[in-house]
Amino acid sequence: MRQQDLTTPRRITQQIEGEMAGRLRLDQVRAHFAGLGAKAQVTVWWNGAALDRLIDERHAEVVNAAAVVLAAHGFVVKTEFSFNDFGDRGSIDLFAANDANRALFVGEAKSEWGSLEETLRRQNLKTRLARKLAEEAFGWRPERVASVLVFPDDRTCRRVADKYRASLASYAGRGREIRAWLRTPTGDLGGIWFLTNA
């Protein structure tokens, strides 16, 4: 691609090429690379890798808390279940099945919201593939599926869910409805589960 083909102002391109990107706003840098068909990402380091470990630990706590409840309701739980279906690949944090009820739980565990768009896109993909993946993982096709975003019960996570309630309409169920579904799975369910013990 030629420089004149870029949609970002020439001065921004010159600053990036002149190793002065630190003087630009992050959205300007991202727009520049988007014009090249690339994606600029920022990695945050805090005390070395301590931030990564902290995020991983919170994520693990959310997964563990949900897995305990699922197992108590008769679900066989597979954590970090990886898949690759004709190029659609990823992993499902909580892939749990109740054989007696032919029920499947597809859970995306989060320690915080991050990108709402990316969270929903990834969870929708996993839910779409869930019935097929369950046949491979558990040997039967589920009749009912719960697609659930799982968070620690903190004010920030709840505030974001309330703020974007319209965008999250397909995840309207909350703790009471999700636990009721785990006890007696009927139909499909979409929800957001805030776990107090995570």
**26 shares a domain with 107:** no
Mean pLDDT to the nearest integer, 82-107: 95
pLDDT of 2 above 50: yes
The pLDDT score that the predictor gives to residue 101 is: 96
CATH value at residue 163: 3.40.1350
Q: Is residue 43 part of a domain?
A: no
Measure CA 101 to chain center. Answer: 26
Coil/strand/helix, residue 77: strand
Q: Is residue 46 part of a domain?
A: no
Which band of pLDDT confidence, cut at 50, 70 and 90, is reported for residue 170? very high
The pLDDT score that the predictor gives to residue 177 is: 97
The two tokens of residue 162 are 């309330």
pLDDT of 54 above 80: no
Q: Domain count of the chain?
A: 2
- pLDDT above 90 covers a percentage of the chain that reads 65
Q: Is residue 8 part of a domain?
A: yes
**173 shares a domain with 127:** yes
45, containing H or E segment: none
**160 shares a domain with 66:** yes
Which band of pLDDT confidence, cut at 50, 70 and 90, is reported for residue 192? very high
Q: Is residue 45 part of a domain?
A: no
Amino acid 7 reads: T
pLDDT per position as a tens digit, 71-93? 999 999 999 999 999 889 999 99
pTM, two decimal places: 0.73
Spatial separation of the C-alpha atoms in residues 141 and 41, rounded to whole Å: 39
Task: Please give the residue that has the higher pLDDT: either 38 or 132.
Answer: 132
**7 shares a domain with 83:** no
**123 shares a domain with 97:** yes
CB 179 within 8 A of CB 136: no
Q: Is residue 121 part of a domain?
A: yes
**80 shares a domain with 9:** no
**72 shares a domain with 31:** no
Instruction: For the beta carbon of residue 182, count every other beta carbon within 10 angstroms.
Output: 23
The pLDDT score that the predictor gives to residue 187 is: 95
- Based on C-alpha coordinates, what's the Rg of the chain? 20
Which band of pLDDT confidence, cut at 50, 70 and 90, is reported for residue 49? very low
Spatial separation of the C-alpha atoms in residues 172 and 165, rounded to whole Å: 8
Spatial separation of the C-alpha atoms in residues 158 and 67, rounded to whole Å: 21
pLDDT of 131 above 70: yes
Q: Is residue 44 part of a domain?
A: no
Mean pLDDT score across all residues of the chain: 87
Which band of pLDDT confidence, cut at 50, 70 and 90, is reported for residue 35? confident
Mean pLDDT to the nearest integer, 174-186: 97
Instruction: Give the strands of the sheet with 88-98, arranged side by side.
Output: 76-85, 88-98, 103-109, 144-152, 189-195
pLDDT of 52 above 70: no
Q: Is residue 176 part of a domain?
A: yes
The pLDDT score that the predictor gives to residue 11 is: 79
Which band of pLDDT confidence, cut at 50, 70 and 90, is reported for residue 22? confident
**29 shares a domain with 78:** no
Spatial separation of the C-alpha atoms in residues 103 and 121, rounded to whole Å: 23
**72 shares a domain with 7:** no
**79 shares a domain with 28:** no
pLDDT per position as a tens digit, 57-75? 888 999 999 999 999 999 9
**94 shares a domain with 9:** no
Q: Is residue 160 part of a domain?
A: yes
Domain range for 128 is 52-195
**164 shares a domain with 107:** yes
